[in-house]
């Protein structure tokens, strides 16, 4: 579903009528504003990491003489699932070193015990020690198993990023009528429908995650 279809369907769900307004009009922009708010909320839905927002091989830059590297703003979360590791591909493009992600407060403990570990601390990826020019990882590429934020819709042909666009239609329509006393009676029904769609989305996502949450190999990078 693209933006033009989404706006038309949302307005019909909210009012029972097809829209007569055009792209860029006040009502159009109001619907997009509401939709983008709910797209952001969907991406952060509690207890869910959406498989459609996963990027297992996401590059965040090269290794320099530090222990801290900035995580791009597009990344919501480094995958916490067992078997998902941060990988540094060495400059030869063949060798690599894997790092297990741990809670940031345990970095010192794991540094003292040895091993390859790192942690997400806000917008930074922290390793147990700073790299030096003599390390085989130095100059290599850091790739993380990431869950990204969803992209907002702006243009008429933008694709709705939510797994089931119908949920976004229903939530946007509900918000649209919430300030209209003549149509407020539609609100409970729209929310009920939206909750049912969300339940199905979560069930479908669980099935997808059971497939992708497995250890990865050097050449089998298969979720993007």
Residue at token pair 């990023």: 161
Per domain, the residue ranges of the chain are 3-48+163-211, 53-149
Mean pLDDT of 122-143: 96
Q: Give per-residue burial for 79-113: e unless 16+ CB within 10 Å, then b.
A: beeeebbbbbbbeeeeebbebebbeeeebeebeee
Percent of the chain with pLDDT over 90: 81
The pLDDT value recorded for residue 107 is: 86
Per-residue pLDDT band at 213 (split at 50, 70, 90) = low
User: Phi and psi for 86 in degrees, rounded to 5?
Assistant: -80, 135
Per-residue pLDDT band at 212 (split at 50, 70, 90) = low
Q: Which of 127, 123, 93, 132 is nearest to 107 (CA)?
A: 127
Supply 153's token pair. 């819709």
Mean pLDDT of 98-127: 88
Supply 106's token pair. 């345990």
Residue 4: half-sphere exposure toward Cβ, Cα within 13 Å: 5
Residue at token pair 């909750």: 195
User: Phi and psi for 131 in degrees, rounded to 5?
Assistant: -80, 155
Could you tell me whether strands 117-121 and 124-127 are parallel, antiparallel, or unpaired per DSSP bridges? antiparallel
The pLDDT value recorded for residue 191 is: 97
Mean pLDDT of 60-64: 97
Give the Cα separation of 73 and 181 in Å (integer).
Answer: 39
Supply 144's token pair. 């993380």
The pLDDT value recorded for residue 223 is: 36
Mean pLDDT of 43-58: 94
Mean pLDDT of 102-125: 87
Q: Which of 6, 38, 69, 63 is nearest to 150 (CA)?
A: 38
Mean pLDDT of 168-193: 95
pTM score of the predicted model: 0.84
Give the Cα separation of 61 and 147 in Å (integer).
Answer: 17
Give the Cα separation of 92 and 88 in Å (integer).
Answer: 11
Mean pLDDT of 94-122: 88
pLDDT digits (tens, 9 = 90+) for 65-90: 999 999 999 999 999 888 899 999 99
CB 144 within 8 A of CB 221: no
Mean pLDDT of 82-102: 94
Bridge partner list, 92? none
Q: Is the dihedral of CA 197, 198, 201, 203 positive or negative?
A: negative
Average pLDDT of the chain is 91
């Amino acid at each position: 579903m693209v933006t033009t279809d989404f706006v038309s369907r949302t307005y019909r769900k909210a009012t029972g009528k097809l829209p007569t307004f055009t792209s860029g009009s006040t009502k159009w922009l109001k619907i997009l504003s509401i939709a983008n708010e709910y797209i952001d909320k969907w991406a952060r839905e509690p207890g869910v990491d959406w498989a459609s927002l996963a990027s297992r091989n996401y590059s965040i830059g090269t290794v320099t003489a530090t222990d801290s590297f900035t995580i791009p703003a597009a990344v919501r979360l480094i995958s916490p699932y067992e078997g998902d590791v941060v990988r540094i591909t060495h400059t030869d493009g063949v060798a690599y070193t894997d790092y297990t992600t741990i809670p940031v407060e345990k970095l010192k403990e794991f540094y003292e015990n040895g091993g390859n570990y790192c942690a997400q601390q806000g917008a930074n990826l922290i390793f147990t020690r700073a790299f030096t020019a003599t390390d085989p990882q130095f100059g290599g590429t850091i790739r993380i198993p990431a869950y990204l934020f969803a992209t907002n819709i702006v243009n008429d042909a933008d694709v709705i990023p939510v797994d089931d666009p119908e949920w976004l239609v229903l939530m946007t329509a509900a918000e649209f009528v919430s300030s209209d006393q003549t149509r407020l009676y539609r609100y409970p029904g729209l929310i009920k429908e939206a909750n049912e769609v969300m339940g199905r989305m979560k069930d479908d996502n669980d099935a997808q995650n059971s497939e992708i949450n497995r250890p990865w190999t050097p050449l089998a990078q298969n979720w993007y």
